[in-house]
């Protein structure tokens, strides 16, 4: 399946969409996406849609259906997201002849913001509060978790087994990750978790004439509410208090927020470094990844990773003394 996924071509994409019940004009554009394969397609009524072909082996069918379930629930609550459209048989998820899962989404106008300004943080805080009210009310048991175990320990073992670090660098990298995991395990103990967006940064937002749209719930997972906030902030919490307060003010208009969980932000930032390195390692057989990350796996790359992790550990140590 992986080789068929890597070799998707416009004719195979159109055949899959048409075989699922949509007639097309033959117009097909490749959109920017590394994890999945995403295409803009014109239907015979001249309407444009986006076809998403899920990377084989990443998510089970039920895990994907949880994504679709949340998106439809959010759309029903009039929260601006792109929910998958039904095929001719009424289902939102089909498989190609190569057993690759595919879904079709409406095309949404707008652009990803270069930066967030003015009352953007308050508006996004309000929308996140509404999103979390919906997601926390659903039983989305098939989604993974964001935790020191999943984003730290599990990723570390995959990285070490698939990379070619020198023994000295590997020891320093492993030590830094294990220290980060230990701090994180203490801090997440007892924190409320539910399904959050998981990858809520500016590139997954669109702003257009209809306002804000949240995109790409592919990484949605059980995690703390603060996971969906810190990636939108322009700097560390100590350097963007005004923006943080605006976001929290908007959020708390719809949902209570435990401000003690702000202490998780630097843990989550460090775990994201580890998870990102593991993500590239897991995808290295995809021809798109060596082209996109030519420095991955070099001594310089791992030295920079160690330095970033040590910076996070220093931040956490400083927090502990406050």
Question: What residues are annotated to the active site?
Answer: 199, 216
Please list, in sequence order, all residues whose beta carbon lies within 8 angstroms of the beta carbon of residue 41, skipping any fewer than 6 positions away: 13, 14, 17, 22, 24, 27, 28, 29, 48, 49, 50, 51, 104
Per-residue buried b or exposed e for 251-273, using 16+ beta carbons within 10 Å of the residue's own CB:
beebbebeeebbbbbbbbbbbbb
CA distance 274 to 177: 8
Helices H / strands E in the chain, number of each? 12, 9
- Under DSSP, the state recorded for 145 is B
Residue that the structure tokens 């803009």 belong to? 40
Q: What token pair was written down for 155?
A: 């990723």
CA distance 97 to 181: 42
Please list, in sequence order, all residues whose beta carbon lies within 8 angstroms of the beta carbon of residue 67, skipping any fewer than 6 positions away: 59, 143, 217, 218, 220
Are the C-beta atoms of 143 and 217 separated by less than 8 Å? no
Are the C-beta atoms of 315 and 266 separated by less than 8 Å? yes
CA distance 205 to 114: 10
- Under DSSP, the state recorded for 79 is -
Are the C-beta atoms of 249 and 122 separated by less than 8 Å? yes
């Amino acid at each position: 399946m992986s080789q068929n996924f890597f070799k998707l071509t416009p004719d195979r994409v159109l055949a899959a969409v048409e075989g699922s019940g949509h007639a097309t004009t033959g117009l097909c554009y490749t959109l920017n996406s590394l994890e999945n394969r995403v295409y803009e397609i014109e239907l015979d009524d001249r309407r444009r849609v986006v076809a998403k072909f899920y990377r084989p082996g990443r998510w089970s069918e039920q895990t994907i259906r949880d994504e679709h379930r949340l998106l439809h629930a959010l759309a029903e609550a009039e929260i601006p997201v792109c929910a998958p459209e039904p095929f001719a048989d009424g289902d939102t998820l089909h498989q190609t002849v190569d057993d690759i899962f595919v879904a079709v989404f409406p095309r949404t106008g707008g652009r990803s913001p270069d930066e967030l300004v003015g009352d953007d943080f308050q508006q996004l805080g309000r929308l996140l509060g509404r999103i979390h009210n919906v997601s926390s009310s659903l039983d989305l048991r098939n989604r993974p978790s964001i935790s020191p175990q999943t984003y730290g320990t599990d990723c570390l073992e995959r990285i070490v087994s698939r990379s070619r670090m020198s023994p000295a660098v590997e020891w320093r990298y492993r030590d830094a990750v294990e220290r980060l995991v230990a701090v994180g395990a203490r801090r997440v103990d007892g924190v409320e978790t539910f399904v959050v967006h998981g990858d809520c940064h500016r590139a997954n937002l669109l702003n257009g004439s209809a306002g804000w749209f949240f995109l790409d719930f592919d990484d949605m997972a059980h995690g703390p509410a603060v996971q969906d906030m810190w990636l939108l902030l322009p700097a560390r919490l100590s350097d963007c208090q005004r923006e943080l307060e605006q976001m929290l003010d908007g959020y708390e208009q719809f949902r209570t927020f435990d401000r003690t969980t702000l202490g998780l932000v630097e843990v989550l930032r460090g775990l994201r470094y580890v998870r990102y390195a593991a993500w590239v390692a897991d995808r290295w057989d995809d021809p798109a990844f060596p082209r996109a990350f030519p420095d991955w796996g070099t001594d310089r790359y791992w030295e920079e990773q160690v330095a970033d992790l040590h910076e996070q550990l220093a931040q956490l140590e400083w927090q502990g003394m406050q």
